[in-house]
Amino acid sequence: MKGHLIRTLVVAAALGVSQPALSQVQTARVTGGAVEGVVKDGVASFKGIPFAAPPLGELRWKAPQPVKPWTGVKKADSFAPGCMQDTSMAAKMGMPTDISEDCLYLNVWTAAKRRDEKRPVMVWIYGGAFAGGMTSAPLYDGTRFARRGVVLVSVAYRVGPFGFLALADLSKESGRGSGTYGLQDQIAGLRWVRDNIAQFGGDPSRVTIFGESAGGISVSMLAASPAAKGLFHRAISESGGSFAPPKIANEAGQNVLSLRMAEVMGQSLLNRFGVEDLESARKVTADQILKAAGGMGLFWPVADGDVLPGDQYELYQAGKFNDTPILIGTNSDEGAMFVRPGVTPAAFERQIRTGYGPAADAILAAYPHATDAEASKSAKDIFRESAFAWHTWAWATLEAQKGKGKAFVYYFDHRTPLSPDGASHGAEIAYVFGNLGGFGGAPTEADVALSDLMSACWINFATKGDPNGPGLPSWPVFTPGEQRVMVFDGTPGARALPNQDKLKALDGYYAWRREEARKRR
């Protein structure tokens, strides 16, 4: 007891004297103990703050558990390892490659001078096909957001088989399904933000979640998850959304697995280890699991009936979602990263007729494919729509019809010498964060101007639920009857939503898929 009292007095002293001396929020008492960040040029960064217990041993494939308390003041001066994943892509991009199962940590950037400033909070969720990604990527540095008045938080979550493995035994063990551990990590991170962000000058009643690709899809899922209710107040999704029915076979344009299908797939992974029960599986090394799991994108969040109750489109139709303002959009050439060139007209038609059922004729009519050039472009475009743009359009439409929150939609079409055909997947992130350069080379004046505009819109939205502000081009609210979006290109401004004919053709396909799913129930 005496030792505990002494430690408490030491921590209290550290927290009490350092802030006034530095005129900066540099220390904080958070769930688990005290942390000390690093101040540079007026911004304090806190890296590697634990928000849950390490998911090791018996905690593998379980919901995140309460963080383990520590004594003294923890130095929060370096990123924690990324969650277990194949690091080959990260290495190619010059990103950190340090990984571990012990990875449930978050980071905070703040320029607050006092704890009572109530600055808007933005919580970043990284992408990576639910198979990779990490908070330590330089692209996600929150310094510039902090300088512009935001408290920026980035949250790690388990990916691949560690985050999204489903098994009948795991479902039985939890009593609530399985295969959503990564999403539960995100929710645990949001609970940490609710309970602790005021220590960093943040306002827990103004929390915006935002992410790109799998991170944007995660934002969409959190918007439909009862477990995330009340933990955020605005939502931004960059190239995200998940409004297709759960997958039960190999349906085109559907990625979220039904629980039954995910459990079968999970069991096949266990069979590769040669283990017969869950206890043995939790003793297999993390490297063995990673090797057996194989390539990208095999494990996605599962429609477990709990964290993800079911088809998001139907949940929205029934008014069962977390209703907040949304800012969502896609890029003009998303498919370039995923579709190999050289698609022929015959190959494109075969792809559509094989995967899209009775909607194939309408889709083929909407996607020109008479020549090799047209077929290659249409192959990229239908990937853009089926993976990202239709989900964004459906989300905005449903929010406008069923919700009270306003929907703002964008289309990022900034072209550079490296991307003359349009903006590729993820190209907007550097502009949003203000972290220009990198593989794109030195930024031009146009790059900086566009970044300043987009950052201002994102911060305005996080501040008041509306991206509009003095000196900015007017961004209209999206409505089904007035489908106008903000186009970010050489001359940013509001215009009609591009590709409406393609989106409507795909809408007929997904309506058919939903009807087929209802018949099987």
d(CA 255, CA 457): 30
d(CA 43, CA 111): 4
Q: Report residue 101 as tokens.
A: 């199962």
Q: Of the candidates 162, 156, 136, 217, which has an alpha carbon nearest to the alpha carbon of residue 425?
A: 217
Q: Which of 218, 425, 428, 455 is catalytic?
A: 425
Phi and psi at 315, nearest 5°, equal -60, -45
Q: Of the candidates 427, 393, 378, 424, which has an alpha carbon nearest to the alpha carbon of residue 510?
A: 393
Cβ atoms within 10 A of the Cβ of 368, count? 15
d(CA 322, CA 314): 14
Q: Report residue 245 as tokens.
A: 């029915």
Q: Report residue 55 as tokens.
A: 């998911």
Q: Is 327 helix (H, G, I), strand (E, B) or coil?
A: strand
Q: Of the candidates 184, 127, 161, which has an alpha carbon nearest to the alpha carbon of residue 306?
A: 184
Q: What value, to the nearest 5°, has the Cα angle with vertex 83 and ends 81 and 88?
A: 90
Order across the sheet with 27-30: list the strands: 27-30, 33-36, 73-75
Helix (H) / strand (E) containing 206? strand 202-212
Dihedral angle, C-alpha 273, 170, 126, 240, nearest 10 °: 110
Q: Of the candidates 507, 229, 481, which has an alpha carbon nearest to the alpha carbon of residue 394?
A: 507
List, in order, residues 6 or more apart from 297 with CB less than 8 Å away: 129, 130, 131, 255
- Note if 334 is an active site residue: yes
Cβ atoms within 10 A of the Cβ of 10, count? 14
Q: Report residue 393 as tokens.
A: 């359009």
Fill in the amino acid letter for 297: G
Whether the CB-CB separation of 237 and 219 falls below 8 Å is answered with: yes
- Note if 425 is an active site residue: yes
Whether the CB-CB separation of 269 and 166 falls below 8 Å is answered with: no
Q: Which of 101, 212, 263, 334 is catalytic?
A: 334
Phi and psi at 278, nearest 5°, equal -65, -40
Q: What value, to the nearest 5°, has the Cα angle with vertex 205 and ends 199 and 207?
A: 85
Q: Report residue 243 as tokens.
A: 């409004």
d(CA 224, CA 309): 8
Answer positive or negative: Cα dihedral of 406, 230, 128, 94. Answer: positive
Q: Which of 45, 136, 213, 237 is catalytic?
A: 213
372-384 helix and 500-520 helix, angle to the nearest 10 degrees = 60
- Note if 213 is an active site residue: yes
d(CA 409, CA 203): 25
Which residues are catalytically annotated?
213, 334, 425
